[in-house]
Every structure is written in structure tokens, then in C-alpha cells.
Amino acid sequence: MAKVETVVFLSLILDLFAFTIPLPLFPRLIEWYTVRESSDANGFLARTLQFVTSIRSLLYKPGIQSQRWDVVLLGGLMGSVFSSIVKLSIRGLTETDAVLRTLQFFVSPRIGALSDKYGRKRILLITMIGNILSALIWIQSTTFASYMLSRVVGGLSEGNVQLAIAILSDVTTPAVRSKALAHVGIAFAICFCIGPPIGAYFASRPLPKSMNSWGPGLNVYAIPAIITLVLLVAETIFLVVALPETRGKGLAATKSNEKSSTTHANGNGNGVPKPPVVRRSVESRLQVLKSLRTFHFFFLALFSGVEFTLTFLTFDLLDWSNTQNGKLIGSIGIISALLQGGYVRRSMSKVGEGNMAQRGVSSCAIGLILLALMPNFVQTQPSLAMKLLQGAAVCMAFTSATVVNSLTAFASLQCDEGGIDTVAGKTVEEHPQLAKGTALGNFRSSGQLGRALGPLLGELYPQFVADHESHYYLACASYWTFGPSATYGASALAMAALSMSMKRVAKIKST
């Protein structure tokens, strides 16, 4: 099934490339809509900003930048309500926003269940149609309401990643599944390194006025929207031509693998068959899945919160530019990709999915401790402060490379294999909650909720003042109230507690 793995990986590259290109454009889009619709006091955007202002007023007193940062706060709330990993580079207002995370929390289980019933390929192609429709709406979204419609359509249609995971789970045996699922993380790391810089390039080059003569009014960033559309159309055609249906193929692959494995025993090749693997009970696997969903939620709620402040910290303490912050984020992505391709794929089956995830959470706790120490040395020992930042970046890269991938693989291995009984010729009955699409959809849904709540609970925006030397710029309620050292220290303790709580599940064999 190596062909299917290649098809899934290439389709993910196209999909995530299309996803990451527009990420740096969204704050500028909001500002463009603000100027465009400023005269409509009763419009959708005006009412939305009034709501944002009421939230902002609860966090800090109005200041010089209040109106401008209402726009940023709107983007932040969208980043929490919408589906993306939200990052902000303060000086250039470079923030990301994508499809609705909150919607994905609700639709992910449904998409998974539908793929169990009607097949992976069919449901995947339907979601692609929704993504294409979202891009088409964006191209012509000259009002904030129409832009929001494109985000909602995209959020309701976003099933590519979870279905890719289900497809890879269908065509791989438990012995090699973790290695195959690492392709998903590698695709993410590659595209998050390449896509945003290209998006930033287009952010500085708005739509030429001559293009408005093409027909209906176009969005100011119609060019990257058109590129996104082209990539999505290309991905859809590629999937139609190259991707076979994989639903129901799992058991056949497993039996074929088991047959070949009888020629070796304990690695000595003496032809003595290995003892059969006895799977745990349904109740036991359901309990493990419940625990994994809980860990997934709490980890992403914490991680999506603290990672958001990183560029705030570098701007505040080091006065870094967008380019420097971009290099930092890009280096984290590159290290993460190298770790996933060179370490995680090769070591997951030996270390164990639970242990690998626990190591990633512990690495995050160490990184947060380094960030908590960093502000104390910026003025007195800047070289040491820089080393602490670099060490934290490496720890965060290891966390990005391991935790979600490992938890996903662990969850996949709890599912029923399904397929056709090669002896009886009948479909093997699956437990409704252990079918791959349903179980993995519920698992992903818990993570989406964590990503939605993380930025809101931990990353509420600061008050910015004109005097850059007066005090720290604070990126969240905790950061704003207690400062970076206390915030990162408390987050490190929370991550350490989460790592400790994972010990019991980490000891459980994945199958």
C-alpha cells in the first residue's frame, strides 16, 4: 500500500500548502474591510467590532492603540473560533486565521462517521468541493460578511487531515502504522515553513486595480485566493485519479502481513510462527481512547496558548522584526520536520506511542522553563538569554514533532481493523465507536476544541502603549497581569503535571 501512502502525502502537501499561503493575510484583510465598511455603522463588521470592543474593555483601559488593537483582537477571536495555529508578529500585525475550529469540533465526528458508512474517498471529495467553494467565495468577498461566509463554508468542509489519517490507518498494519502517520506531521512541518513566507510576499503586493475589470468586484487579496483555488482544484483532480477507496481494506492487509511474519520468529528466521497478538477488550480500548481525547484536549489548550506568545516575547524583550520572528518560527518548523522524518518515524514503534507523546510533553515543560528564565538575563547577559531562547525553540520543535502525531497513532491503534474476512468472505463487524472514521473524528474533535479555547483562555491580547521602554507588552491575561516569567513558569508546571498524568496510559501497549 506504499502507493496509497504516497498519494495521501502528496495530497496533504497540496492541501496544506493551500491552507498556509493565506495565513499572513488575515489581519490586513480585516483592516481592509474596516476601511471599506467604516461608513456603515449598522453593518456586520461594525457590530462585530462593537462586540470586540466590549470584550477588550474588560481586559484593559482604552489607549492610543485601542481601535487598531480591536482589529487585532477580532483576528485573535477568529483564530480561536476558527481553525488554525494562531501566531502573531506584533510589529507587522502578522497573524494567522483559517477555518472554524469550533465548527470542526462539531463536524469532525460527523465527517468520520460518514466516511465509515459511505467510504473515505467519496466523503473526502465532498469536503474538497466545500473547500473549493470557500476559495471561490473568498475571491469575490468584498464585504466582511461574505468573507466570514467563506470561512464558515471552509470550516464545515475541513476533513482532509482526519480523513488522510483514517486512510493511512486503513492501509497499514498496526506494526507500521505509526511510521506511516508520521507523514501527516512531516507535511504540516514542510508547508508551514514554505506557505506563510509566500503568503507574506503577497501581503505586500495587493491586487492590481486592473484586475477589477475582469467582472464582479474582487477581494483585495484575490491573487493568493486564486492560487489557493488552483491548488485545491489540482488536489481534487489528483485524488479522483490516484486515490483508491480504502474503507474495508484493513483486515486483508493485516492478514497478509501476518502471513509473511510467520517466516520469522524473534528475528531469527527459523520459520516458527510468532504467537498471535491478542487485542485488549472493547471496554479497555474505549477507555484508552477516552484518556487520549482528554490528553489531546488539555495539551493543545495549553500548547496553542503558550506558543502564541513566543513572538510577543521576542518583540518585547529583543525588539525583533517580522523577519527575525519569521526565521525563528521557520527554524522550529524545519527542526520539527527533520525530527519527524529522521527520529519519530524510526523510533515510534520501539519507544511506544504513549512514551513518545509523554516525552514531547516533558520537552515542552523544559522549553517553558527556559522561556521563564530568559527575561531575567536579557539586560545583564544577552548571550545567555539568546541561548535560552534557542534551547526553548528546540524543545518546542521536539514537542511539535512528537505529541500530536504520537497521540493520533495511539488512538488509531485502538480502532477495529474492519475489512473482509478472507475465509468467510464476510464483512467483519466493527464496534460503532471503534470504527476508524468515528473514533479518529472524535479524537480530532477534542483537539480542535482545545485549540479553540487555548488562545482565548491563555492568549488574550494586551494593551500596547506608545513608550516601548516603559514595561513589557503583554500577550494574554496571565502574561499581562503577572509577566512572562510567571506565565511561562505556571505553564511549565501545568505541562509537567500533564506529563505525569500520562504515565499510566504510556505504559499500556498500543495494541
Residues 456, 311, single domain; the answer is yes
Residues 295, 238, single domain; the answer is no
Cell numbers found for residue 239: 485524488
Total residues found in the chain within this entry: 511
Is there a domain that residue 262 lies in?
no
From 195, 230, 245, the end of a domain falls on: 245
From 198, 223, 245, the end of a domain falls on: 245
Residues 28, 128, single domain; the answer is yes
Q: What is the DSSP string of 15-79?
A: HHHHHHTTGGGHHHHHHHHHHHTTT-TTSHHHHHHHHHHHHHHHHS---TTHHHHHHHHHHHHHH
Q: Tell me: pLDDT of 406 over 50.
A: yes
Taking residues 474-493, what's their average pLDDT? Answer: 71
**Cell numbers 480530532: residue:** 444
Residue 122 belongs to domain with CATH number: 1.20.1250.20
Instruction: Select the more confidently predicted residue: 1 or 225.
Output: 225
Residues 343, 480, single domain; the answer is yes
Q: How far apart are CA 428 and CA 416, in angstroms?
A: 9
Taking residues 122-133, what's their average pLDDT? Answer: 95
Q: What is the DSSP string of 156-197?
A: HH--HHHHHHHHHHHHS-HHHHHHHHHHHHHHHHHHHHHHHH
Q: How far apart are CA 190 and CA 20, in angstroms?
A: 10
Residues 190, 301, single domain; the answer is no
pLDDT for position 193: 80
pLDDT mean across residues, the chain: 77
**What does the angle CA 285 – CA 289 – CA 291 come to, to the nearest 5 degrees?**
115
Q: Percent helix, strand, coil in the chain (nearest 5)?
A: 75, 0, 25
Is there a domain that residue 255 lies in?
no
Q: Tell me: pLDDT of 119 over 90.
A: yes
Q: How confident is the model at residue 308 (pLDDT cuts 50, 70, 90)?
A: low
Q: List pLDDT tens digits, range 134-163.
A: 999 988 888 888 888 888 888 888 888 899
Q: How far apart are CA 425 and CA 202, in angstroms?
A: 55
Q: Which of 134, 137, 154 is nearest to 146 (CA)?
A: 137
pLDDT for position 399: 95
Residues 221, 298, single domain; the answer is no
- The answer to whether residues 285 and 414 touch, using CB atoms and an 8 Å cutoff, is yes
Taking residues 74-101, what's their average pLDDT? Answer: 42
pLDDT for position 487: 82
From 223, 245, 267, the end of a domain falls on: 245
SS3 340: helix
Which of 22-31, 242-251, 375-384 is least confident? 22-31
Residues 12, 121, single domain; the answer is yes
Q: Which of 162, 165, 98, 191 is nearest to 455 (CA)?
A: 98
Q: Which of 224, 228, 225 is nearest to 204 (CA)?
A: 224
Instruction: Please state whether 318 falls in left (phi above 0), alpha (psi between -120 and 50) or beta.
Output: alpha
The 8-class DSSP code of residue 508 comes to: S
Q: Tell me: pLDDT of 114 over 80.
A: yes
Taking residues 4-25, what's their average pLDDT? Answer: 87
pLDDT for position 416: 86
CA distances for 271 relative to 131, 176, 228, 263, 336, angstroms: 51, 21, 53, 4, 40
pLDDT for position 267: 45
Q: How confident is the model at residue 281 (pLDDT cuts 50, 70, 90)?
A: confident
Q: List pLDDT tens digits, range 46-66.
A: 777 777 667 656 655 555 445
Q: How far apart are CA 26 and CA 220, in angstroms?
A: 11
Residues 438, 314, single domain; the answer is yes
Residues 86, 227, single domain; the answer is yes
Is there a domain that residue 354 lies in?
yes
Cell numbers found for residue 182: 508520521
CA distances for 341 relative to 33, 85, 172, 458, angstroms: 41, 21, 18, 31
pLDDT for position 192: 79
Residues 14, 158, single domain; the answer is yes
- The answer to whether residues 416 and 434 touch, using CB atoms and an 8 Å cutoff, is yes
Taking residues 323-334, what's their average pLDDT? Answer: 78
Residues 114, 47, single domain; the answer is yes
Q: List pLDDT tens digits, range 214-264.
A: 666 788 788 888 889 999 999 999 999 999 999 876 544 444 444 444 444
State the residue range of the domain holding 324: 282-462+469-510
Instruction: Select the more confidently predicted residue: 48 or 413.
Output: 413
Q: How confident is the model at residue 285 (pLDDT cuts 50, 70, 90)?
A: very high
Q: How confident is the model at residue 327 (pLDDT cuts 50, 70, 90)?
A: confident
Q: Which runs of consecutive H residues, i.e. helices, occur in 204-343?
A: 222-242, 250-261, 282-306, 310-318, 322-339
Number of domains in the chain: 2
Is there a domain that residue 316 lies in?
yes
pLDDT for position 21: 82
pLDDT for position 42: 78
Q: List pLDDT tens digits, range 429-475.
A: 788 888 999 999 999 889 888 777 765 554 443 333 333 333 333 33
- The answer to whether residues 36 and 212 touch, using CB atoms and an 8 Å cutoff, is no
Residues 414, 485, single domain; the answer is yes
Which of 39-48, 63-72, 284-293, 334-343 is least confident? 63-72
Q: Which of 161, 27, 164, 153 is nearest to 88 (CA)?
A: 27
